[in-house]
Amino acid sequence: MIDPRKAERLLNSPVHFDIDQALKRGWELFKAQPLILIMYFLLIMVVSVGPAFYLEDFSTIISLLIGPPLTAGFYLLANKISRGEQVEFKDCFDGFKFWLPVVGVNIITGIITVLGVIALIIPGIYLGVAYTFAMPFVLFAGTEFWTSMELSRKLITKIWWRFFAFLILIVLINMVGILCLGVGFLVSGPFSYMAIYAAFEELTGDLLVEDDADPTITH
């Protein structure tokens, strides 16, 4: 859960984001469990591509309902790895425990971002970047979708251009991975999620607090 005083202090204080540190930390998280992360990413690719060929009429619906909890699985894995906990392949699917909130926040942020793109394009780009942490806040802070979106937007806005550059670097890394006969993408893909989680962990600091009475996962 979120300590309101810490949230207010974080959002009203200068924020420093070290891109190099986030990438290095993301790589450390990946190296801790490379086999599980690669296998899970490969599974997601199969699940994502399969419906497009065999269930074409329902592929969009399936993507909207299954994609978010699968993505959440990467962030939950990163959290467990970061805390030094034992990780098993079945842990990859813990995102389905948060199915309703992660699907909800994914749909709402997607709609608002698309509307921003339709409006003037630039607002859509701004929101697409600013909402990057909406899902992690849902998972690790236990906040409802709008609060998670606003926390993400306000936090990232403080370092928007730097964070945008960070995301561009991740995109370039994935492009290189794809160019390496596609095999490199099996590494760059899961690494990307680890790096984004590392950035989230770096920027939130002690915003998230432990509460044993609350099932929400924290740092």
Of the ranges 35-44, 119-128, 177-186, the best mean pLDDT one:
35-44
pLDDT digits (tens, 9 = 90+) for 101-138: 999 999 999 999 999 888 778 889 999 999 999 999 99
Our CA angle for 80, 172, 60, nearest 5°, is 70
pLDDT digits (tens, 9 = 90+) for 92-110: 999 999 999 999 999 999 9
Task: Give the whole-number percent of the chain exceeding pLDDT 70.
Answer: 87
**Please, which residues have CB within 8 angstroms of residue 219's CB and are 6 or more apart in sequence?**
79, 82, 83, 140, 201, 204, 206, 208
Enumerate the β-bridge partners of residue 208: 2
3-state secondary structure of 15: coil
Q: Any idea which residue has 């928007």 for tokens?
A: 160
Q: What is the distance between the alpha carbons of residues 87 and 30, in angstroms, rounded to a whole number?
A: 12
